[in-house]
Amino acid sequence: MDNKIRVFATCDIGEAIDLLRKRGYEVEVYPRPEAPPKSLIIDKVGSGIDGLITTLRDPIDAEVFEAGKGTLKVVAQIAVGFDNINRADANRYKIPFTHTADVLTEATAEFAFFMMGALARKMWTAEHLTRDNQWGYWHPYLPFLGDEVTGKTLAVIGTGRIGLAMIKKSVGFDMNVLCYDPAYENQAFVRTIQEVNELRHSRGLSKEKVSIRYVPFEEALDGADFVSVHVPLLRAEDSATPTYHLFNEKTLRLMRPTAYLINTSRGPVVDEKALARALRENWIAGAALDVYEKEPLPSDSPLRDPAIADRCRLFPHFASAARITRLSTDPDKGMAGRCAQGLIDVLEGNYGGDVAQMPYVVNKEAFK
Ligand code: NAD
């Protein structure tokens, strides 16, 4: 038996696979576009692979780690979110797992921003009008109008990497911003944005003075025209401030009837049944979603109700789906490159073999 490093990837991550092969790794890639069954992942891990490349579609828990006992050294996830990986199990088995934070921040935030615009300005409905030959006249308000984004108030729920990038993009649209984050308030960032806002106003680039501040959750929902969600999926057992069903009947009712919800975080952060009802009964003006409680979105989802189609935009977990962001082999630019580098760091013992020093490892606490 040779001593080649062996890796199994549950999906193709493009040229980054060649990069690993050029280093002498033996890499097997699951050839189909959908996720492999968990039993196959367990078989591959049980066959003695050193590294496993995963996506958010693969459930990684004690069963997988047990199969890799003594051989599996790293799980490299191509995503920033890692709610599919059981962190406590990884720690118990002392398996580091890596993710691809930062490189998808701007792409995800810009997609959230574009979703917000497409929803509020009714771009999908307007294009349908044209394509379906229903555009019969120009009229001041018929057949419908949209709402402007410029000058409105944006609530950013979760001011981590993507939430802050969303705020940066809102500056050019003269938006007031209400921030909410129970874990950390980045007041230095808020001051910087305020300085930029003041400069724009004093130099005549924006007509109205705008503001940015941290507020409690309820105040953010109550005061916003747009609510954009940028939290990790945290269940009650993971956090004192869980995000599972953070948006439910009670909290959706706190939003204004003219307000819009944008979710690019994780599907289970929003109770979809409650949201469908909120849209049907006009508690809120609309929602744009990139992520769902179950993915792909089931054909019988209440979100597909034709009665709400004009105010409910649905995207296929697409926010990071841009060419460079997804596939660049440069670990400072692409998820594929960062995923491969995370794997290499662990398997080749970079950083003096100190896992706690490796930048893309998530569960450092298990190695300190
Ligand atoms: P991050 O860890 O930098 O930021 C998350 C922020 O949420 C943190 O500041 C945290 O304190 C805050 N938070 C935690 N609990 C909260 C709560 N109860 N209420 C409000 N805020 C809370 O993560 P990030 O890089 O900004 O990514 C955020 C999430 O976006 C990821 O976890 C992932 O699930 C999702 N994501 C989706 C896509 C997509 O394609 N749709 C792409 C990238 C990321």
pLDDT class of 3 with cuts at 50, 70, 90: confident
Question: Is a pLDDT exceeding 90 seen at residue 118?
Answer: yes
3 state DSSP class of 298: coil
What tens digit of pLDDT does each residue of 29-61 get?
Answer: 999 999 999 999 999 999 999 999 999 999 999
Sequence-distant (≥ 6) Cβ neighbours of residue 170 within 8 angstroms: 113, 154, 177
Tell me how far apart the alpha carbons of residues 360 and 41 are, in angstroms, rounded to a whole number. Answer: 22
**What does the pLDDT average to over 335-354?**
98
Q: For residue 234, give the ligand 1 atom closest to its CA.
A: 15
**What does the pLDDT average to over 245-274?**
98
Sequence-distant (≥ 6) Cβ neighbours of residue 309 within 8 angstroms: none
Which residues participate in catalysis according to the annotation? 266, 295, 317
What tens digit of pLDDT does each residue of 149-164 get?
Answer: 999 999 999 999 999 9
Tokens for 215, please give them. 């507020």
The residue ranges of every structural domain in the chain are 6-103+323-367, 106-314
Query: Which residues, judged by CB distance below 6 Å to any ligand atom, belong to the binding site of ligand 1?
Result: 80-81, 101, 104-105, 108, 157-163, 180-184, 230-234, 241, 243, 264-266, 290-291, 317, 319-320
**Nearest CA, atom 14, ligand 1:** 231
Question: Is a pLDDT exceeding 80 seen at residue 119?
Answer: yes
Q: What is the reported pLDDT for 261?
A: 99
Centre of ligand 1 from the C-alpha of residue 207, in Å: 32
**What does the pLDDT average to over 74-87?**
97
Asked, colleague to colleague, whether 6-103+323-367 and 106-314 share their fold, the answer is yes
Q: What is the reported pLDDT for 242?
A: 98
Percent of the chain exceeding pLDDT 70 equals 99
Question: For the domain bounded by 6-103+323-367, which CATH number is listed?
Answer: 3.40.50.720
Q: What is the reported pLDDT for 17?
A: 98
Rg, the chain, Cα only = 22
3 state DSSP class of 20: helix
Q: For residue 165, give the ligand 1 atom closest to its CA.
A: 26
**Nearest CA, atom 33, ligand 1:** 81
**Nearest CA, atom 25, ligand 1:** 161
Tell me how far apart the alpha carbons of residues 206 and 109 are, in angstroms, rounded to a whole number. Answer: 22
Q: For residue 290, give the ligand 1 atom closest to its CA.
A: 41
Q: For residue 83, give the ligand 1 atom closest to its CA.
A: 34
Whole-number Cα distances in Å, 363 to 1, 56, 158: 32, 16, 21
Question: Is a pLDDT exceeding 90 seen at residue 1?
Answer: no
Q: For residue 105, give the ligand 1 atom closest to its CA.
A: 25
Centre of ligand 1 from the C-alpha of residue 313, in Å: 21
pLDDT class of 290 with cuts at 50, 70, 90: very high
3 state DSSP class of 87: helix
Sequence-distant (≥ 6) Cβ neighbours of residue 27 within 8 angstroms: 6, 7, 8, 9, 17, 20, 21
Of the residues 57, 77, 80, 159, which should be mutated to test ligand 1's pocket, given the most ligand atoms within 8 Å of the CB? 80
Between 238 and 185, residue with greater pLDDT: 185
Question: Is a pLDDT exceeding 90 seen at residue 171?
Answer: yes
**Nearest CA, atom 35, ligand 1:** 265
Centre of ligand 1 from the C-alpha of residue 300, in Å: 28
Percent of the chain exceeding pLDDT 90 equals 99
3 state DSSP class of 31: coil
3 state DSSP class of 169: helix
pLDDT class of 231 with cuts at 50, 70, 90: very high
Q: How many CB atoms lie within 10 A of CB 334?
A: 26
**Nearest CA, atom 37, ligand 1:** 265
Centre of ligand 1 from the C-alpha of residue 108, in Å: 11
Question: For the domain bounded by 106-314, which CATH number is listed?
Answer: 3.40.50.720
